[in-house]
Chain A
Amino acid sequence: MTGLRDWLVPAEMPAWRYALRLTVVVAELLAAYCLAGQNSPFFYQAF
């Protein structure tokens, strides 16, 4: 499980930048979650 800490606190970037990118991810997922129930399957699944 040594990787878990690296995953949560990556050394490659400043903490604020990491937090910002994570915030965008969370916002995208939240928005998608709110509308997910009204969506249809992917178009190319029809093939």
Chain B
Amino acid sequence: MTGDLIDLTKAPFWLAFAAAVLLVAPMARGQSRSWLFALVNVGFLTVLLGPRGAAAIVAGATAVWLLAGLTRRSQHPLRWALVAGALCTLLFLLHKLPAVARAGELGRVNPLLSVIGYSYVFLRTIELLRAMYERRHEAPELVATLNYLLPFHMLAAGPIQSYDEFATQPNEPRPLTGLAVLEAVERIAFGVFKKFVVAYGIQKLFLTDFTAGGVYWLFEAQMFFIWLYLDFSAYSDIAVGIGKLLGVHTPENFNRPYFARNIVVFWERWHISLSLWIRRNLFFPIQVALLRRTGGTHQMLCGAVGFAVSFLLCGLWHGIAWNFVVWGVMHASGLITVNAYRKYLGERLGSKGVKAYLANPYIKALSMFITFEWVAMSHLTFFYRF
């Protein structure tokens, strides 16, 4: 077991990529595709973690598969979903609180969880369990569960595929044309270039981890936001490109987030797969439950509570510390304010007035600037501990 993070400057990731392209992409069809992709995923884990580490991860995924099956087939689905959810949450807490894990003599678990990017695996597991609990799909086979939870190209930093999307993707993808191959390779190369050249250049030139004195932090906050987008979207580009080559659907994660005119739109364009996960699994269920409870009155309040709880939990997903709570509060308060302002504008200006207001280029530019700055300032919480 190495305990290293997945490193795209080292051979294992690209060997897994080459193996997947040779095995999964051009020749295999139907059920064999699924088996071969699982072989690549487990092989990648074996190279990364050693046989014992990989066996532990596969055993964990097998336990999820068993519990998901029990949730789907049992007369008491809630019971099994809660057992599985509690176990996965316990692992998540160990992953986020390594000191607690070490104190409980479970410190050996942490490197394994870090390597596979357990924060993302955890969200996929919740998706799977919820789909089984709500009986939206048949219980998956073990191979499909491995491929859903542990796809080698989505381990390091997502995207987080929805289980509905995974379960309904065609077993036999469209044949790859020369143009499709070129576009996929271009996407991978662009991602690699963005990370290792452009983002690296910005990091080297402008970023100091906020250790520079004076008001440089204000400039650095802008550059950090730009760098973060380049760094994060680069990985998504690589993952999406690999997915295109393999015929494994890999969701888009970014869509020009700097052009968002408010924070609601920003979350439709930034880390889209996480945003959709929050919407599906936290915001809508909370909002719907509250609306039912209040008989449909207090819509704004129900939405506000939904945003507050969802983004507090999203903050804690990043890390269990006060600075991430502050991050969550900043984003939730931004979302609540935008919703309230939208309502105010609608009441004050009417639909024609709102249309004219939205079309005003100065207001648009100012809105984009405020959104950019709000998000840029929220990133300071990654560096300043409270």
Bind each other: yes
A41 interfacial contact with B, CB 8 Å:
yes
Whether A44 and B189, one on each chain, are in contact in the complex, defined by CB atoms closer than 8 angstroms, is: no
* Residues A9 and B192 in contact, CB atoms below 8 Å apart: no
Chain A min CB distance to B320 (Å) = 11
Chain B residues whose C-beta falls within 8 Å of the C-beta of A44 in the assembled complex: 157-158, 231-232, 235
**Interface status of B228 (Cβ within 8 A of chain A):** yes
Give every chain B residue within 8 A of A38 (Cβ-Cβ): 200
**Mask: chain A, 3-40; 1 = CB below 8 Å from B; 0 = not:** 11011111111000010011011001101110111111
B156 at the interface (CB under 8 A from A): yes
Binds A, one of B37-45, B180-188, B259-267: B180-188
Contact of B192 among A8, A29, A37, A47 (CB under 8 A): A29
Verify A6–B177 contact, CB threshold 8 A: yes
- Residue in chain A with minimal CB distance to B9: A36
Q: How far is the CA of A32 from the CA of B117 in the complex (A)?
A: 24
Question: CB-defined interface of B101-134 with A at 8 Å, one 1/0 digit per residue?
Answer: 0000000000000000101000000000000000
* Contact of A7 with B176 at beta-carbon distance under 8 Å, contacts A29-B192, A45-B5 already known: yes
User: Judging by beta carbons under 8 Å apart, are B189 and A25 in contact?
Assistant: yes
Residues A29 and B157 in contact, CB atoms below 8 Å apart: no
Is B196 in the interface zone, CB < 8 Å from A? yes
Q: Is the CB of A35 within 8 A of B228?
A: no
Contact A1 B26 (CB under 8 A): yes
* Smallest CB separation, A30 vs chain B (Å): 10
Out of B9, B158, B181, which one reaches A37, CB within 8 Å?
B9
Expressed in whole angstroms, the minimum distance between the Cβ of A5 and any Cβ of chain B is 9
Complex Cα spacing A10 to B182, Å: 9
Residue numbers in A under 8 Å from B117 (CB-CB):
45
Q: Which residue of A lies closest to B232 (CB)?
A: A44
CA distance A44 to B117 in the complex (A): 9
Residues in A with CB closer than 8 Å to B35 are none
Q: Which of B6, B186, B189 has the most CB of A within 10 A?
A: B189
Q: Contact flags (1/0) for B282-317 with A, using CB distance below 8 Å?
A: 000000000000000000000000000000000001
Which residues of A lie under 8 Å from residue B244 when comparing CB positions? none
- Cross-interface CB contact of A21 among B5, B182, B192, cutoff 8 Å: B182
Chain A CB within 8 A of B347 CB: no
Least Cβ–Cβ distance between A22 and chain B, in angstroms: 7
Q: Are A42 and B156 in contact (CB under 8 A)?
A: yes
**How would residues 222 to 251 of chain B score, 1 for a CB under 8 Å from any chain A CB and 0 otherwise?**
000000100110110000000000000000
Complex alpha-carbon distance, A39 and B185, angstroms = 21
CA A33 to CA B203, docked complex, whole Å: 17
The listed residue (A1, A6, A18, A35) touching B200 by CB distance below 8 A is A35
Query: Which residues of the other chain, A, contact B193 by a CB distance below 8 angstroms?
Result: 28-29, 31-32
| A28 partner residues in chain B, CB cutoff 8 A | 189-190, 192-193, 197
Nearest Cβ on chain A to B119's Cβ, whole angstroms: 5
Which B residues lie within 8 Å of A1 (CB)?
26-27
- Say yes or no: A3-B26 contact (C-beta < 8 A), given A12-B178, A25-B186, A44-B232: yes
Chain A, residue nearest B230 (CB) = A43
Select from chain A the residue with minimum beta-carbon distance to B95. Answer: A47
Report Cα–Cα, A8/B190, bound state, in Å.
Answer: 19
Extra A-B contacts (6), CB below 8 Å, given A32-B197, A40-B203 = A4-B26, A6-B176, A10-B181, A39-B200, A41-B7, A42-B232
